[in-house]
Amino acid sequence: MKLVNECCCGCNTKVTDLAKVNKCPVCDNEGISVSKVPVEHLVADDYRMTVEGDGYWICMNEDCSVVYYNTDIGIKFLKDQVSVPIWFKKDANPRYACYCSKVTEEQVIEAVVKNGAKMVKEVNAITGAMKNSNCKEKNPLGVCCHKIIQEAIDKGLAMK
């Protein structure tokens, strides 16, 4: 999955440092750098106090149960230690396309298939996605949900 900075909702997020890679301690795949902000907000309450350091990585491997990790300080958070399902992980349920407004991939696909939406703007109008944007804290990558919504639209369009 390629991440580009495509914010269109004014949430002012940006992909921090794409050049910085670090391998997942469990599956050995390269993770994506995320700031501490979404980690602090999304780990389950019981683990919040253990969030240390400034930077984390997120494991993008759908089969791996690791979500956030920082190998420098030896911390990792697994799927069941994070309070929201991570959309690209296997068995995520529900699978959110927009974490800020809790709109699921299913709702986006329905807007495409049933209501004929083709663009993110149209989907947002139908589903209420990206209202009250606070992607920095609520999106697991700390970046704008735009990209995930676009991927869900593409899935919906492919089904038509």
d(CA 117, CA 92): 24
Is residue 24 involved in binding Zn ion (CB under 5 A)? yes
Q: Which is nearer to Zn ion, 69 or 99 (CB)?
A: 69
Q: Which is nearer to Zn ion, 71 or 134 (CB)?
A: 71
User: Which residue from 150, 155, 158, 152 is spatially nearest to 121, judged by alpha carbons?
Assistant: 150
Question: Total residues contacting Zn ion (rule CB under 5 A)?
Answer: 7
Is residue 34 involved in binding Zn ion (CB under 5 A)? no
3-state percent breakdown (helix, strand, coil) of the chain, nearest 5? 30, 15, 50
Would you call 114 exposed, middle or buried from its count of C-beta atoms within 10 A (0-12, 13-18, 19+)?
Answer: exposed
**Residue 31 CB, nearest approach to Zn ion (Å):** 7
Is residue 51 involved in binding Zn ion (CB under 5 A)? no
Is residue 153 involved in binding Zn ion (CB under 5 A)? no
CB 142 within 8 A of CB 34: yes
Q: Which is nearer to Zn ion, 7 or 66 (CB)?
A: 66
**Residue 28 CB, nearest approach to Zn ion (Å):** 7
Q: Which is nearer to Zn ion, 43 or 123 (CB)?
A: 43
Beta strand 32-35 with 103-104 is: unpaired
**CA distance to 21, 24, 66, 72, 159, per residue, from 75 (Å):** 16, 11, 11, 8, 40
Q: Which is nearer to Zn ion, 26 or 113 (CB)?
A: 26
Binding mask 55-74 for Zn ion (x = CB under 5 A): ----x-x--x-x--------
Please report, as ranges, the residues that interact with Zn ion according to CB under 5 A: 24, 26-27, 59, 61, 64, 66
